[in-house]
Amino acid sequence: MARDYLLSLDLTTAKSLGLRIAEAIVSDITRGRLQPGDKLPGSRRLALRLGVNRNTVNAALADLVAQGWLETAPARGVFVRARDAREPLPRRRGKAHRPGLAVHPGFSLPPLLTGSVGRARGDKELVLTGGVPDPRLFPYVPLTRAYRRVLARRGPGLLDYGDARGEARLREGLARMLAETRGLAARADDVLITRGSQQAIWLAAQALLRPGDRVGVETYGYPPALQALRSTGAVLVPLNVDAEGVRLDELERALTAGGLVAAHLTPHHQYPTMASLSAPRRLALLALAQRHRFALIEDDYSHEFHFTGRPRLPLASQDEHGVVIYVGSLSKVLAPGLRIGYAVAPAPVLERMAALRTSIDRQGDNVAEAAVAELLEDGELARHARRMRQVYQARRDVLMTALRDTLGERVSFEVPQGGMALWVQVHGGDPVAWAEKARERGVTFGAGRDYHVFRKPVPFVRMGFTRLDERELRRAVRLAETAWVEA
C-alpha cells in the first residue's frame, strides 16, 4: 500500500492543508481503503505527491497518531493503527465520506413535545406571516447612540453578571410605562425581563404547571405558547373564540368538568383571529379566576398597535386578587432580533420564574436592556411606537384592498381594530395547499390549521401586514392569487 497509495484532497473547502490531509487519511481508513496495519508512504514521498511542505505532512501525521488513528514504529514508518482494543470502524461503501459530525446520534431521544426549530428567512421572501415587525423601520441611530452612552458610563458593570430579573433601569422604566399606559400598579420589583414574550410564557408555564395539570387555551392560539404549555406535560383544554373573544360558557364547562390550574389567553387582540374580549366578559373572567383559583396568563403581545379608539386596558389592570400573570414584549415594537419581553406577577410567582430562568439562562443581555431603557426614558420608544402604529394601519388597509381587488369573493375577513394581521376565511379552496403553493412562489403565510390547538384543518389563513411595505404587499397578493390558481 505504501508505494501505490495516492491521497485525494478536498479542493472545495477553505480548511488548512494540514487539516485536509488528516481528514483525507481518516476518510480512507473509515471507508476501508486503508486497513489496520497498512503502512503509509513516508512524509517526504507524501509531500512530493501532494506538492506541499513536508512539515505540513509531518504535522498532520503526528496529529493522527495523537488521535489514535495511526501509530509509529521506530525505523519502520507510520502504520494504520490496529484496533484490537475496540470494535473496528465500519467500512463505508459508495460515496466518499467526509469526516465530521455524525448525521444521527448514537443514542435514543425521547419524543419532542414542542415544535420545530425556527430558521432565518431569505432576503427575497415576501413574509405575510403575522406578528413580524418590519426591521427596516427600526430606530438604528437612536439605539446606536444609546449603546454608546451606556457602555461609556457603565461598561464594566454591564459586562459583569447582573440581576436575573433584568436590568434595574429597564424594569423601572417598564413599571412607569405600564402604570401610565395600561393602568398597572406595578413597581420595578414586580417586573421580570425575559428574552422575548415566548420565554416569559415558558417560565410562567414551568412555574405553574405539572404533568397532567389542565390548562385552558383558546382553540386557535400562538403556536410557541402552545408548545411552552405542552412542554410541561399539561393537558390542553380548548376554549372556542367568537367575535367577543374567548367563550366563557366553555370555560365554565371546563372548570366543572375537571378544573383548571391556569389559562393562557390573548384578550386584547386574540391570536390569530384578532377578536377583542368584550368588557362584560373581562369582568366575568376575572371573577371566575378568583372564585376557582386558577391563574390567567394574559399575553398582551401587540398592545401598542390598536388603530380604532383607545386600546382596552389589560385584565391585569383590574386584578385585585393576584390571579393574572401579565406578559408583554418590546420585540413586537422594535424588531424580532432584539429579544426583550417582560412579565408582571405577584412576588412569589415572579421569584419562582426568575429562579427557573437561572437554570437555563443566567441573565438577559445587560447591555441591550440598558440601551433600551435609555430609549424608554427619553421617549424614543413611545415615538417609534406611534410612528409604527400609523405605518401599520396604512399597510393593513393596503392589504385589505389588495385582497378584495385580487381575490374577490374567494376570501373574506373582518376588519381588525388592531394587531398585526388579518384572519382570512377561504371560500372554495384548500388553505393548506394554497399556503404551500404560495411558499413555492416566494410568499409565506400560515394556514389556519397551523394555529389550531390540535392542528385540525380549518378554512382560514393568517396574513400579516407589518413586515412588508405597500408595494411588497400588493406584489405578495398577486403572487398569492397565482398560487391559488395553481393549488
- Do 86 and 207 reside in the same domain of the chain? no
- Do 322 and 396 reside in the same domain of the chain? no
b/e map 354-368, b = 16+ CB within 10 Å: bebbeeeeebbbbbb
Whole-angstrom Cα distance, residue 50 to residue 403? 63
Beta strand 241-242 with 235-239: parallel, antiparallel or unpaired? unpaired
Count of domains for the chain: 3
Q: Domain span at residue 87?
A: 1-109
CATH number reported for the structural domain that contains residue 258 in this entry = 3.40.640.10
* Last residue of one domain, picked from the residues 322, 352, 379: 379
- Do 373 and 403 reside in the same domain of the chain? no
**140, 115, 118: which is closest to 129 by C-alpha?**
118
End-to-end CA distance of the chain: 59
CATH number reported for the structural domain that contains residue 388 in this entry = 3.90.1150.10
Q: Write the secondary structure of 83-128 as one string of H (helix), E (strand) and C (coil).
A: CCCCCCCCCCCCCCCCCCCCCCCCCCCCCCCCCCCCCCCCCCCEEC
Which are the contacts of 244, defined by CB distance < 8 A and separation ≥ 6? 275, 276, 277, 278, 281
Contact 449, 436 (CB under 8 A): no
Q: What is the distance, to the nearest Å, from the Cα of residue 74 to the centroid of all Cα atoms in its chain?
A: 57
Whole-angstrom CA distances from 367 to 137, 168, 260, 373, 420 are 22, 12, 39, 10, 29
- Do 360 and 344 reside in the same domain of the chain? yes
Asked whether residue 115 is assigned to any structural domain, the reply reads: no
b/e map 423-442, b = 16+ CB within 10 Å: bbbbeebebbebbebbeebe
- Do 388 and 339 reside in the same domain of the chain? no
- Do 313 and 227 reside in the same domain of the chain? yes
Asked whether residue 114 is assigned to any structural domain, the reply reads: no
pLDDT, one tens digit per residue, over 44-66 is: 888 888 888 888 899 889 888 88
Low-confidence ranges of the chain (pLDDT < 70): 1-4, 10-14, 84-104, 106, 109-124
- Sign of the dihedral defined by the CA atoms of residues 350, 356, 359, 365, in that order: negative
- Do 269 and 341 reside in the same domain of the chain? yes
pLDDT at 13 (0 to 100): 62
pLDDT at 93 (0 to 100): 37
3-state helix, strand, coil in the chain (%, to 5): 45, 15, 40
Asked whether residue 119 is assigned to any structural domain, the reply reads: no
- Do 405 and 470 reside in the same domain of the chain? yes
Asked whether residue 116 is assigned to any structural domain, the reply reads: no
- Do 176 and 269 reside in the same domain of the chain? yes
Asked whether residue 53 is assigned to any structural domain, the reply reads: yes
* Last residue of one domain, picked from the residues 362, 379, 396: 379
- Do 306 and 433 reside in the same domain of the chain? no
**Contacts of range 137-144, beta carbons closer than 8 Å, 24 or more positions apart:** 137/387, 137/388, 137/391, 138/334, 138/335, 139/334, 139/375, 139/380, 139/384, 142/375, 142/380, 143/371, 143/372, 143/375
Task: Classify burial at 275, counting beta carbons within 10 Å of its beta carbon; exposed 0-12, middle 13-18, buried 19 or more.
Answer: buried
Task: Classify burial at 44, counting beta carbons within 10 Å of its beta carbon; exposed 0-12, middle 13-18, buried 19 or more.
Answer: exposed
